[in-house]
Amino acid sequence: MELDDHLLAADLATRAGILLLEQRELISEDDFSNLGTIGDQLSHEFLMNSLAEFRPMDAVLSEEGTAHSVHPNRSENDRVWIIDPVDGTREYGDPPRTDWAVHVALAINGVPVIGAVALPALNLTLSTSTDTGQSKTSLTSVPESPRLVISRSRPPKEAEMVCQALSGEMIEMGSAGAKAMAVVRGEADIYLHSGGQYEWDNCAPAAVALSHGLHVSRLDGTSLSYNNSDPWLPDLLICHPDLAEAVLNLLDMGGRP
């Protein structure tokens, strides 16, 4: 029986993650500098071949290169799988870090409706499916000091401003998927990114976050749109819905009280 799109996304992300963990175990410490490159290619080839087998009529956009020859041009297709074989290549290549992910998403008419984010080192896959055995996290009340997840290397000034205005706490974390899933899992309340990303960086996280009842938008409050001719996306906000209005107002005012 053919898996539906939600289950397929979760299955492929999970299986790619298992391959990446196995590769991590096989490689010697002397070769860790090449682990990210090896893992990217391994996961990319697995996902490309799997989508060619199970969804040959759909288009594909991947960080790691062109789609399988069986797939149609994405500019002419309403259904586009958007994947990141290893989100957080640097973190993956630095065992035993766990803050990296695998993204598998399907945008339909530009909307991120289906997705899965595997966190392989945590043995966890979060997805838009209701049939994966993973219970959806219930939204809890916002803590007195909201928790913002930020990049270890590039904390956006907007996040620092919002954190200060809301008397929040900043938590450093690696990949985009890991940060977004921290909000989905209730371990953080706000993920704000202003440094620019590509569609494969946040399509799956956006789909999963939306399915879990979170607010997802650009920093100006507009909806995210995918399968654009230029896959560059300037910014992203994923947060607890009770914080969305306050955060967007702060961003609009530039942090003025």
For residue 12, name the pLDDT band (cuts at 50, 70, 90): very high
66/250 Cα distance (integer angstroms): 40
Residues 41 and 110 in one domain: yes
* pLDDT higher than 90, residue 91: yes
Give the pLDDT confidence of 13-44 residue by residue, as tens digits.
999 999 999 999 988 676 777 899 999 999 99
Can you give the pLDDT at residue 35? 92
Residues 15 and 122 in one domain: yes
| More confident call, 144 vs 131 | 144
Tokens of 28: 């010697």
3-state secondary structure of 38: helix
> Cβ neighbours of residue 61 under 8 Å, at least 6 residues apart?
67, 74, 80, 81, 82, 83, 199, 200, 227, 231
Tokens of 135: 């219970």
Angle subtended at Cα 207 by Cα 89 and Cα 229, rounded to the nearest 5 degrees: 75
For residue 131, name the pLDDT band (cuts at 50, 70, 90): confident
Are the C-beta atoms of residues 112 and 203 closer than 8 Å to each other? yes
DSSP state of 65: B
Total number of domains constituting the chain? 2
Give the pLDDT confidence of 210-246 residue by residue, as tens digits.
999 999 999 999 999 999 999 999 999 999 999 999 9
- The answer to the question of residue 244 being in a domain is yes
Strands 59-62 and 79-87: parallel
Main-chain phi, psi angles of 54, to 5 degrees: -95, -25
Are the C-beta atoms of residues 170 and 128 closer than 8 Å to each other? no
Residues 86 and 155 in one domain: no
Residues 191 and 239 in one domain: yes
Residues 176 and 104 in one domain: no
Print the domain residue range for 14.
Answer: 5-127
210 residue type, one letter? L
